[in-house]
Amino acid sequence: MTSDSPAAAGPAGNFLDHVRELIAAGLEYIQARATLAGIEAKEALIHFCIIIGLCAGALGLLVFGYLFLCIALTVLIAEWLGISPGWVILALAVLHFAIAAGSVIYAVVRIKTPVFSATLEEMKRDREWLGRK
């Protein structure tokens, strides 16, 4: 018998061989799963890029539709009231600026509202408790 045979290595050699095989199999499994995850990540990226592109296109069309609606309302209101379309456009512009200003003021008020107040209060109590020890 040669010393290279598994029987010559004894029980410890068999155990180590099994551990090595188990680790190698585990690494092959992880590599296969990582490869699959990489392929699926590329597919997911393409999928989400298509979704983002469609949403951006829809948003662009929505903006143009809104602009055309404003133009149509301007013309219709001007004809209905018998005034120059310029005055109606000015009124619509002032209305839009007023709504935008109101939105900004509301956003500033909302920014000043504290968030995570319960969590911050708990962390403050934790710091006080730790300081007592």
pLDDT in tens, 44-93: 999 999 999 999 999 999 999 999 999 999 999 999 999 999 999 999 99
Query: For residue 129, what pLDDT is reported?
Result: 86
- Mean pLDDT in the chain? 88
pLDDT band at 113 (very low <50, low <70, confident <90, very high): confident
Q: Output the pTM of the full model.
A: 0.54
pLDDT classification of 1: cutoffs 50, 70, 90: very low
Chain centroid to CA 118: how far? Answer: 25
**In a 10 Å sphere around its CB, with 0-12 CB exposed, 13-18 middle and 19+ buried, how is residue 54 labelled?**
exposed
Residue 9: per-residue pLDDT: 56
Compute the distance between CA of residue 46 and CA of residue 42 in angstroms, rounded to an integer. 6
Closest CA to 94 of 70, 110, 64, 76: 70
pLDDT at 2 over 70: no
Calculate the alpha carbon distances from 101 to 74, 84, 111 in Å: 22, 26, 15
How far is the CA of 25 from the CAs of 16, 28, 38, 96, 98, in angstroms?
Answer: 14, 5, 20, 65, 67
Q: Is the pLDDT of residue 7 over 60?
A: no
Contact present, 74 and 91 (Cβ < 8 Å): no
